């Protein structure tokens, strides 16, 4: 790949055309001069040559690029392919060869060579654009000036002229952006979404409006919150008022209690006052006090005597000044003493009777004692006999013991005697038997006795009969026993007499003791009786005196008491009134609190009902929402999307209008760049003195749609009066053409591309001879232009150019299938 680059102001060296538009067979054009003219009638192929240059440079034409033609339309009707070879050269002689091949239905194939070296095929178009310094759009505006462009600039509506100028300036993009910004895409999407929304809405019950529903829901929630807040406030107030009510009610209770107390005290006071009416005191309080204390002393003495401790203590304790208590105590003491007096009466009676009884008993006992003394005297001799017998025989017991012992001894002796008798009888019988029989059985031991035992038995019998002292002893004992028994009998008699004596003595002693006791009792009874009589007298006297005194004192005490009570009640009343006042209870305020509380409770009930109602409604709404939740959700989503689309729509619409809005400023900027040069060129091109200056203004214009747009308006300064005259309405077509050419040339000069040629297609229609000459002169003298390629049917222009001697002219004529007939006519 070549690293050599081209250096500005390229011009065309040659052009080969085959199969392009009217050119069927190959044609080769050399561009041997600065000015190359293709002269020929309409349809002779002039424009096809210019289009072939465009095709050679860019591989397409503006008509194909604008989709006014298809690329296949460029192929000659009798051929199936295009071949265009374009050779360009820069001021240093570097040559660029571009080969374009296009088959029907195929894409254009390009080959490019820089000084014979091919450019990389994939970079060809970019490289070429870079080498040219402009794209096809700029080429169409700045290099290849077509008749229709000139026409657009000088004629047509202001908008059409403005569009043409915009294209020349390369700023038509703003208008295109304005025109082509496809808001309809968003509009369609909005419409689709709105239809989707309606479709979703159809899923809801008939007459159901989501927005109304949501508004209702919002309203319910707002109302619910409102009532809840209200309820909370009401409850807070209720709590406060209830607390106040409770406080007031407590105060009321206290107040009523105090009022009751007051009523009670007042009635007490009145009662006391009435009690006092008609009660006249007999003694003064001081006298009463004195009298009562005197009575107390007396009473204490009496009570001490009577040993009445309780009343005594009470009386001793009571204050001297406590007249009422003292009075009452004395009264109760009097009553007590009256009872005691009765008791003493009874006691006196009883004691008197006892004394009498004692006296009678004593008399009788004394008589009995005399009788007993007589009887005791009669029994005294027995006591002396008894004592003598005792001294002789001992005591009766001892005698009886002896008798008993003697009887036992006697019985023993009698037994011995009887046993001996029986033994003798037995021995006699045994001896007899032995004697008779020789054998006998011992009755005691059962042993068999024989005659050998007989002697022994006889000796034994002798031994038993020889003991006679036992009999003597037995007789002594019997005589003694008889004697003792006689003494015993007498002593027994004497003892009974003695017992009787002792009993009498004992009885006498008892009677004497009883007599002494009775005497003592009688004396004591006498003393007691005297004492009782004395007490009786004293108590009776005290009771009598006390009753009188108390009766006399009672009214005074009563008045004194009542007065004191009244004073106390009065003081209590005053204190009570003070307490009532200090209580701070206000019945009116309590009523007001109760009224407010009732009102608030009614409001609370209303709010609760309302909240319940709203909760129910909200529940219904939420249930409905839940039921259609998905639909709502989709609807919400679609609505959000629509809103977003609308926002986007508004943004893009704002942007769209911004393109047109900045059009004016951009136009002014572009004009500021070209106006001066345009005027210079105009003055060269225009050969007449009537106008000497041009200006292009951007003015605002209202369209039929009501939109304000900016348009170009070209003015020419009239020499005779210096007025700026609108070119479109006041100047001729020829003048307009000159002005348009001046503008185009200025623009061409100011552009920064590397193409040094200017291609003009019928540039000078309606131009007069003088101007044409001036135009040719101008063109020839334009320094920047290296090459001018003109297609024209105007022979006069060729003639004028020929005067300059640098023109190279091809003449074209209509040909047959082969294409136009081309003839090089100048230079000859």
Q: Which two tokens stand for residue 259?
A: 């009022």
* 174 belongs to the binding site for another protein (CB under 8 A): yes
Number of residues that bind another protein (CB under 8 A): 32
Q: Which two tokens stand for residue 544?
A: 């009598």
CB of 67 to another protein, least distance (A): 10
Q: Whole-angstrom Cα distance, residue 505 to residue 534?
A: 43
CB distance 350 to 365 below 8 Å: no
Nearer to another protein, 331 or 660 (CB): 660
R_g over Cα of the chain: 90
Residue 314: Cβ within 10 Å count: 17
Q: Binding marks (x or -) toward another protein, 180..219, rule CB under 8 A?
A: xxx--xx--x------------------------------
Q: Whole-angstrom Cα distance, residue 412 to residue 392?
A: 28
Nearer to another protein, 122 or 184 (CB): 184
Nearer to another protein, 648 or 780 (CB): 648
* 662 belongs to the binding site for another protein (CB under 8 A): yes
H-helix or E-strand containing 667?
helix 663-685
CB distance 361 to 496 below 8 Å: no
- 156, 170, 555, 804: which one binds another protein (CB under 8 A): 170
Q: Binding marks (x or -) toward another protein, 734..773, rule CB under 8 A?
A: ------------------x---------------------
- 228, 230, 641, 688: which one binds another protein (CB under 8 A): 641
* 645 belongs to the binding site for another protein (CB under 8 A): yes
Residue 46: Cβ within 10 Å count: 25
Nearer to another protein, 178 or 628 (CB): 178
Nearer to another protein, 169 or 386 (CB): 169
Query: 827: cis peptide before it, omega within 30°?
Result: yes
Task: Name the burial class of residue 235, with classes exposed (0-12), middle (13-18) and buried (19+) by CB atoms within 10 angstroms of its CB.
Answer: middle
* 651 belongs to the binding site for another protein (CB under 8 A): yes
Q: Which residues contact 421 (CB under 8 A, 6 or more apart)?
A: none
DSSP state letter for 72: G
* 640 belongs to the binding site for another protein (CB under 8 A): yes
- Taking CA atoms, 204 is separated from 73, 209, 635, 761, in Å, by 58, 8, 11, 69
Residue 565: Cβ within 10 Å count: 17
- 648, 695, 780, 825: which one binds another protein (CB under 8 A): 648
CB distance 528 to 299 below 8 Å: no
Nearer to another protein, 77 or 188 (CB): 188
Nearer to another protein, 500 or 637 (CB): 637
Pairing between β-strand 807-813 and β-strand 821-826 as defined by DSSP bridges: antiparallel
Nearer to another protein, 42 or 752 (CB): 752
CB of 229 to another protein, least distance (A): 35
CB of 179 to another protein, least distance (A): 9
Q: Which two tokens stand for residue 618?
A: 């909200």
CB distance 747 to 674 below 8 Å: yes
Binding segment for another protein (CB under 8 A), chosen from 337-345, 596-604, 642-650, 798-806, is 642-650
- Taking CA atoms, 645 is separated from 96, 211, 637, 692, 816, in Å, by 52, 19, 12, 55, 60
* 631 belongs to the binding site for another protein (CB under 8 A): no
Binding segment for another protein (CB under 8 A), chosen from 39-47, 172-180, 574-582, 756-764, is 172-180
Strands of 117-118's sheet in order across: 27-30, 11-18, 81-89, 95-103, 108-114, 117-118
Q: Whole-angstrom Cα distance, residue 101 to residue 470?
A: 213
Total count of residues recorded for the chain:
828
Binding segment for another protein (CB under 8 A), chosen from 365-373, 471-479, 651-659, 772-780, is 651-659
- 177, 201, 219, 264: which one binds another protein (CB under 8 A): 177
Nearer to another protein, 79 or 709 (CB): 709
* 677 belongs to the binding site for another protein (CB under 8 A): no
Nearer to another protein, 163 or 618 (CB): 163
Binding segment for another protein (CB under 8 A), chosen from 212-220, 650-658, 731-739, 765-773, is 650-658
Binding segment for another protein (CB under 8 A), chosen from 349-357, 384-392, 448-456, 657-665, is 657-665
Name the β-bridge partners of 790.
37, 760
Q: Which positions lie near another protein, rule CB under 8 A?
A: 169-171, 173-174, 176-177, 180-182, 185-186, 189, 637, 640-641, 644-645, 648, 651-652, 654-655, 658-659, 661-662, 665-666, 669-670, 752
């Amino acid at each position: 790949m070549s690293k050599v680059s081209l250096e500005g102001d390229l011009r065309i060296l040659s052009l080969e055309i085959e199969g392009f538009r009217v050119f069927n067979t190959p044609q080769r054009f050399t561009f041997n001069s600065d000015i190359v003219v293709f002269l020929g009638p309409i349809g002779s192929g002039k424009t096809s040559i210019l289009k072939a240059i465009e095709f050679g440079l860019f591989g397409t034409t503006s008509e194909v690029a604008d989709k006014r033609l298809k690329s296949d339309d460029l192929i000659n009707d009798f051929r199936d392919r295009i071949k265009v070879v374009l050779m360009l050269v820069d001021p240093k002689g570097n040559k660029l060869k571009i080969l374009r091949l296009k088959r029907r239905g195929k894409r254009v194939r390009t080959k490019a060579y820089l000084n014979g070296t091919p450019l990389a095929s994939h970079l060809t178009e970019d490289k070429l654009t870079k080498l040219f310094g402009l794209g096809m759009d700029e080429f169409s505006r700045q290099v290849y000036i077509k008749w229709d462009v000139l026409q657009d600039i000088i004629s047509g509506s202001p908008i059409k002229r403005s569009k043409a100028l915009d294209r020349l300036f390369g700023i038509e993009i703003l208008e295109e952006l304005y025109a082509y910004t496809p808001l309809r895409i968003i509009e369609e999407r909005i419409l689709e979404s709105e239809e989707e929304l309606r479709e979703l809405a159809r899923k809801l019950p008939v007459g159901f409006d989501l927005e109304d529903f949501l508004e209702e829901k919002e309203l319910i929630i707002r109302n619910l919150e409102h009532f809840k807040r209200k309820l909370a406030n009401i409850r807070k107030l209720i709590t406060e008022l209830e607390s106040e009510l409770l406080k007031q009610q407590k105060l009321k209770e206290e107040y009523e209690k105090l009022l009751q107390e007051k009523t009670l005290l007042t009635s007490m006071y009145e009662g006391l006052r009435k009690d006092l009416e008609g009660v006249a005191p007999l003694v003064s309080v001081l006298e009463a006090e004195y009298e009562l204390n005197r009575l107390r002393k007396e009473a204490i003495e009496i009570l001490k005597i009577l040993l009445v401790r309780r009343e005594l203590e009470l009386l001793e304790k009571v204050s001297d000044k406590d007249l009422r208590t003292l009075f009452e105590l004395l009264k109760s003491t009097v009553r007590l003493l009256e009872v005691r007096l009765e008791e003493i009466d009874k006691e006196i009676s009883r004691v008197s009777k006892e004394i009498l009884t004692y006296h009678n008993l004593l008399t009788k006992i004394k008589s009995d004692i005399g009788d007993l003394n007589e009887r005791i005297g009669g029994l005294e001799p027995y006591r002396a006999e008894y004592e003598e017998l005792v001294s002789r025989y001992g005591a009766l017991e001892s005698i009886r013991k002896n008798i008993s012992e003697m009887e036992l001894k006697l019985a023993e002796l009698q037994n011995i005697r009887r046993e001996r008798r029986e033994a003798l009888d037995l021995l006699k019988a045994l001896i007899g038997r032995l004697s008779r029989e020789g054998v006998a059985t011992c009755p005691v031991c059962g042993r068999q006795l024989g005659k050998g035992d007989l002697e022994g038995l006889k000796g034994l019998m002798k031994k038993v009969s020889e003991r006679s002292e036992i009999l003597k002893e037995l007789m002594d004992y019997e005589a003694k026993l008889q004697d003792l028994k006689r003494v015993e009998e007498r002593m027994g008699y004497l003892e009974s007499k003695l017992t009787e004596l002792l009993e009498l003595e004992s009885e006498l002693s008892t009677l004497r003791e009883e007599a002494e006791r009775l005497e003592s009792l009688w004396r004591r009874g006498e003393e007691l009786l005297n004492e009782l009589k004395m007490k009786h007298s004293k108590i009776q006297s005290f009771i009598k005196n006390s009753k009188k005194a108390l009766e006399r004192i009672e009214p005074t005490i009563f008045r004194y008491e009542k007065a004191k009570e009244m004073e106390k009640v009065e003081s209590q009343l005053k204190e009570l009134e003070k307490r009532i006042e200090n209580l701070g209870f206000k019945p009116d305020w309590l009523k007001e609190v109760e009224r407010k509380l009732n009102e608030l409770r009614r409001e609370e009930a209303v709010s609760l009902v309302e909240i319940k109602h709203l909760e129910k409604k909200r529940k219904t709404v939420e249930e409905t929402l839940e039921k259609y939740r998905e639909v709502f959700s989709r609807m919400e989503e679609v609505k959000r999307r629509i809103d977003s689309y609308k926002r986007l729509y508004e943004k893009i619409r704002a942007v769209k209008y911004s393109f047109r809005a900045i059009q004016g400023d951009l136009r002014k900027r572009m004009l500021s760049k070209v106006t001066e040069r345009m005027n210079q060129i105009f003055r060269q091109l225009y050969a007449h003195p009537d106008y000497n200056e041009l200006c292009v203004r951007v003015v605002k214009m209202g369209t039929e749609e009501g939109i304000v747009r900016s348009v170009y308006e070209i003015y020419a300064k009239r020499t005779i009066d210096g007025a700026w005259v609108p070119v479109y309405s006041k100047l001729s077509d020829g003048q307009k053409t000159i002005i348009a050419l001046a503008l185009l040339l200025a623009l061409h000069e100011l552009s920064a591309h590397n193409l040094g040629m200017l291609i003009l297609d019928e540039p000078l229609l309606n131009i007069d001879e003088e101007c044409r000459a001036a135009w040719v002169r101008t063109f020839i003298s334009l320094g920047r232009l290296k090459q001018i390629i003109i297609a024209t049917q105007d022979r006069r222009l060729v003639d004028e150019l020929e005067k300059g001697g640098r023109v190279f002219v091809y003449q074209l004529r209509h040909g047959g299938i082969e294409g136009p007939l081309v003839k090089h006519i100048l230079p000859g």
